[in-house]
Amino acid sequence: MKNLRFAVLGTGFWSTYQIAGWRELDSVELVAVYNRTRTRAGQVAEQFGVPHVYDDADELLRNHAGELDFVDIITDVDTHALFTEKAAAAGLNVICQKPMGPNLETAQRMVDTCRQAGVQFFVHENFRWQSSIRKLKAVIDSGVIGEVFKAQISFCSGFAVFDNQPFLAELEQFILTDIGSHILDVCRFLFGEVNTLYCQTTRVNLRIKGEDVAIVAMTMQNGIICQAEMSYASILEKEAFPQTLALVEGSLGSVRLTHDFVLNITTRSGTDTQTASPVMYPWLDRAYAVVHASIVDCNRNILSALQGQGAAETTGGDNLETVRLVYAAYESARTNSVITVSSFG
Site for ligand 89Y in 277-296 (CB under 6 A): 291
Between 162 and 344, CB nearer to ligand 89Y: 162
CB atoms within 10 A of CB 327: 22
User: Can you say whether the dihedral through the CA atoms of 339, 179, 319, 89 is positive or negative?
Assistant: positive
Helices (H), the chain: 15-22, 38-48, 57-64, 80-89, 104-117, 131-142, 161-164, 175-178, 180-191, 289-306, 316-335
In the complex, what is the shortest distance from the CB of residue 326 to ligand 89Y, in angstroms, rounded to a whole number? Answer: 13
Which of 178, 211, 212, 249 is close enough to bind ligand 89Y by CB under 6 A?
178
| Dist CA 48 CA 19 (whole Å) | 8
Size of the site for ligand 89Y (CB under 6 A): 6
Whether the bond between 242 and the residue before it is cis, its omega within 30 degrees of 0, is yes
Distance CA 172, CA 341 (A): 23
Nearer to ligand 89Y, 160 or 338 (CB): 160
CB of 155 to ligand 89Y, least distance (A): 8
Name the minimum Å distance from CB 164 to ligand 89Y: 7
**Among residue numbers 219 through 258, which ones bind ligand 89Y (CB under 6 A)?**
242
Closer residue to ligand 89Y, CB minimum distance, 82 or 169:
169
State the binding string over 134-163 for ligand 89Y (x if CB under 6 A, else -).
---------------------------x--
Nearer to ligand 89Y, 35 or 157 (CB): 157
Phi, psi (degrees; rounded to nearest 5) at 88? -65, -40
State whether residue 198 is helix, strand or coil: strand
Nearer to ligand 89Y, 205 or 267 (CB): 205
SS3 256: strand
Q: What is the Cα–Cα distance from 152 to 116, expressed in whole angstroms?
A: 39
Q: How far is the CB of 246 from ligand 89Y (least distance, A)?
A: 17
Using CB under 6 A as the binding rule, whether residue 179 contacts ligand 89Y is answered as yes
- Nearest distance in Å: CB 165, ligand 89Y: 6
Is-contact 78 104, C-beta < 8 A? no
> Whole-number minimum distance, CB 20 to ligand 89Y, in Å?
15
Cβ 118 to ligand 89Y, closest distance in Å?
A: 29
Instruction: Please enumerate in sequence order all residues whose Cβ is within 8 A of that of 167, keeping only pairs 6 or more positions apart, or say none.
Output: 76
The 3-state DSSP composition of the chain as helix, strand, coil percent (nearest 5) reads 40, 25, 30
Q: Which is nearer to ligand 89Y, 32 or 186 (CB)?
A: 186
Residue 2 Cβ vs ligand 89Y, minimum distance, rounded to whole Å: 30
Q: Which is nearer to ligand 89Y, 149 or 159 (CB)?
A: 159
Which residues sit at the interface with ligand 89Y, rule CB under 6 A? Answer: 161, 165, 178-179, 242, 291
